[in-house]
Each structure stands twice: as structure tokens, then as C-alpha cells.
Amino acid sequence: MGTFSKGILGGFSGKVGNVVGARWRGKDIMRSLPTRGNYSPTQAQLDQRDRFKTAIVFLTPIKEILSAYFGKPQGDKSNFNLATGYHIKNALLPDALDAYVVDYPKVLIAKGDLRGLANASVTPDANQVVSILWDDNSGQGNASATDELVVVVYCEALSLFETANPAGARDAATVQIPLPAYWAA
């Protein structure tokens, strides 16, 4: 593996002949095309692949929201990379089939220093509507009345997300989110 600072065209990503270019830890690198060995992955490698797959399949539909609201990019790590790492480490549980499932109470959609909702409650209403109520905590910390609420609703049975971005302002203290009729039980 070789590093370079200024190539003829700068850094590149991908394959050119039998050379692969990539960015690794903030450096542009080139290496030869890897050859596939005759080895079997260890159980730890298989477990990590399952964890990664479970997190990516769950998070990809809301990638746009995670990319906008999950922390701040750190070096080469995007907000979506940070969200994926968090969920792999904290929001997955092993199941009986030697796979992983999402631990929904530990799922985070946004991460940052903006104060969250105070005394929030979620109530399912008639006609596929979800009501969200909270106390207006404008002025506390860095919370302002015009902060916009982002709502993400997940239907586990259908593996589908419904989003509202923005759903309302902090000072409204209530919002109703209509859900698709086919989500009815």
C-alpha cells in the first residue's frame, strides 16, 4: 500500500486496472487489487457483518434525515456514518436465530446540542393519525420558539418509515401526523 499527496489528477477512488485507489484515515492511498484467499470468515466477522447489515437496512430509508441531524461530521466520517456506528454499538440485540434485531427504545434519529421536547407524549388517534404533545420549553438552553420538529414514525410489521420534516414549531406544543391507511392493523 502506498500513500501519495499529489497525483497527476489528485486522489481517486475505485479501480483502475489492477490498482485500487481509496481514502483511508484522511490520506489518499493506492494498493494492488486484493486477491481472494481460501479462508472462511470467523464467527466474530460473521457477527459483525450481520450487525452492519441490520443497521444499514434499517437506517438507509431515513439516510437524508440522519445526514442532516445526526451530530457533526468528524474528519472523514459523515453524519450517516456516525449514526450507523452508534446503532451498531448501542441499538442492536441478538435474536434466537443467530442474527440481530433493532432495539427500538435505543434508536436515535438526531444527535446534537439542541434541547429536545419536554414532557412529550405520543397518542394514536382515529383515522390513522398520531398526536404528539409536549411542553413549550422555548428559552431553555438554546431552544427557541421557531425550532422545527422532525417526526419519524416506523412500522415494524411493514418495515416502512413515514417522516414529517418539518412537522411543526416548538411553540405549537402539539402536532398531528397522518399515517397511510395501509398501516392500519
Give 40-72 pLDDT, tens digit per residue: 889 899 999 999 999 999 999 999 999 999 988
Q: Please state the domain extents for the chain.
A: 2-32, 43-106, 118-183
pLDDT, position 133: 93
Give 111-121 pLDDT, tens digit per residue: 888 888 889 99
For the chain, give the mean pLDDT: 86
pLDDT, position 182: 87
Residue 8 falls in which region: left (phi positive, over 0), alpha (psi -120 to 50) or beta: alpha
Q: Which of 82, 172, 166, 106 is nearest to 134 (CA)?
A: 172
Q: Give the residues of the chain that fall short of pLDDT 50.
A: none
